[in-house]
Amino acid sequence: MALRKNSNLKWNRWRFCTILAALVLFACGCPAQQSRADAKPNVLRLLVWDGYTPAHAVEMFEAQMEAKYGRQIRLQISEVESDDFFDPVRAKQVDLITISHHMFKDERSDYITKGLILPPNLENIPNHTLVLPELMQAESHTSDGVIYGVPLATGSYGLAYNTGLVESEPTSWRIFWDPAFANTYVLGAYESTYNINITALALGYPHEWIDSYDRLNNPEFKKKLRQLAVNARGFWSGADRPEDLLNASLAMVWGDSFSGLQRQGEHWEVATPEEGSPKWIDEYVLTWALADRPFMKQIAEEWINWSLSTEFQVGHLLREVRASPVVTNIQDRITPQEKEQLKRQSTSIPQQTYSEHNRNGLNLLWEEAMRGIDPERKGR
């Protein structure tokens, strides 16, 4: 009897342990058996200029990342209509932003010195090796030899014309002051510095003067700038859209509206004015919100790498957004007409980082020029 009792005890202990282990596994769940649909998505928060995150590209990227890492990835996109990235970055409300080259060391934000942005791990961005050399190591986004920005696209604040209404390509910014085109052109309502740069170029001022408040604060310049604002048919804000330019003759624009205008039967082109055009370089930047989130920082770098792919640079940025690619491996992918377009844009004038004195002064000049004018005016 003692032997039988001992055998039963061993059996009961074994059964108890087995059941307990099963209950633990059931409660905790096995990774292989968990439904991906029940897993919480990993969200990357982007604050970007309009046009850089097309829905089809975002969906493809999310699917590829889920297949690669076995985790749900979601890009949360917010589009910005001004250059005020500082507050969301400081509050850690965004992870990845696009800013222009002259904003890295702007006195208002001073992103690098204040530790608000992170250097990317370029090993996670292999396409970075394809970036144009003059952009890859640009002084504007480096500090002590460390790179803080990855160029995405470049272009000019362009002189655009409606080929159905303007017989030949304009050769000078002075066309905006031609009485024949009064009330037929469109401007960016809040692009004060660019509008001022162009007015200075139209007056024949040297390139080194076009950003200087002290040089431009004179009666001749103020009169010219006021004429530009008063004679505009209408204005756009943030990004030019098809409805802003439809049926206009001329515009000062980024070019976001062109593909939409084409679908509505209007073909617009960008001229190459003899004075040159103000140039922008937009770059991806990692914010300090990713400092303690290494996996999401890697996903951000994956998205940057995706955006530097030939398919995205040519298929979307060049042909849809009408921006210039920043990579070198595209020559066999673009048409002769596109090569000519890129050649023209290479002569643009890079915008400088403004001192507080110049920035405030130029904004004041534009405010004076716009006095009594509705910036929401469309004019159709």
**Could you report the per-residue pLDDT of 149-174, keeping only the tens digit for each?**
999 999 888 999 999 999 999 999 99
**Lowest-confidence region among 12-26, 101-115, 165-179:** 12-26
Which pLDDT band holds residue 347 (cuts at 50, 70, 90)?
low
Examine the pLDDT at 1 and tell me if it is beyond 60: no
Shared domain for 237 and 328, answered yes or no, is no
Residue 379 inside a domain? The answer is: no
What string of DSSP letters covers 57-68? HHHHHHHHHHHH
Residue 374 inside a domain? The answer is: no
What string of DSSP letters covers 249-297? SEEEE-STTHHHHHHTT--EEE---TT--EEEEEEEEEEGGGTT-HHHH
Shared domain for 162 and 298, answered yes or no, is no
Residue 345 inside a domain? The answer is: no
- Mean pLDDT within 252-267: 91
Range of the domain at 234: 158-276+350-369
- Domains held by the chain: number: 3
pLDDT tens digits for range 205-242: 999 999 999 999 999 999 999 999 999 999 999 889 99
Residue 265 inside a domain? The answer is: yes
Shared domain for 266 and 214, answered yes or no, is yes
Residue 376 inside a domain? The answer is: no
Most confident of 72-81, 259-268, 289-298: 289-298
105: which 2 tokens? 């060391």
SS3 103: helix
Shared domain for 134 and 228, answered yes or no, is no
Residue 378 inside a domain? The answer is: no
Shared domain for 265 and 287, answered yes or no, is no
Residue 262 inside a domain? The answer is: yes
Examine the pLDDT at 29 and tell me if it is beyond 60: no
CA distance 302 to 74: 13
Examine the pLDDT at 175 and tell me if it is beyond 60: yes
Cβ atoms of 214 and 268 within 8 Å: the answer is: no
CA distance 171 to 275: 9
Shared domain for 177 and 216, answered yes or no, is yes
CA distance 355 to 227: 27
At what angle are helices 192-202 and 356-369 packed, to 10 degrees?
A: 80
User: Mean pLDDT of all residues in the chain?
Assistant: 88
Shared domain for 237 and 111, answered yes or no, is no
Shared domain for 244 and 178, answered yes or no, is yes
Shared domain for 129 and 69, answered yes or no, is yes
CA distance 227 to 176: 9
Shared domain for 102 and 186, answered yes or no, is no
Residue 231 inside a domain? The answer is: yes
pTM: 0.79
pLDDT score at 7: 41
Cβ atoms of 197 and 211 within 8 Å: the answer is: yes
Shared domain for 77 and 130, answered yes or no, is yes
Shared domain for 6 and 81, answered yes or no, is no
Look at residues 153, 113, 179 and name the one whose alpha carbon lies nearest to residue 322: 153
- CATH at residue 197: 3.40.190.10
pLDDT score at 345: 72
Cβ atoms of 93 and 123 within 8 Å: the answer is: no
Examine the pLDDT at 248 and tell me if it is beyond 50: yes
Examine the pLDDT at 134 and tell me if it is beyond 80: yes
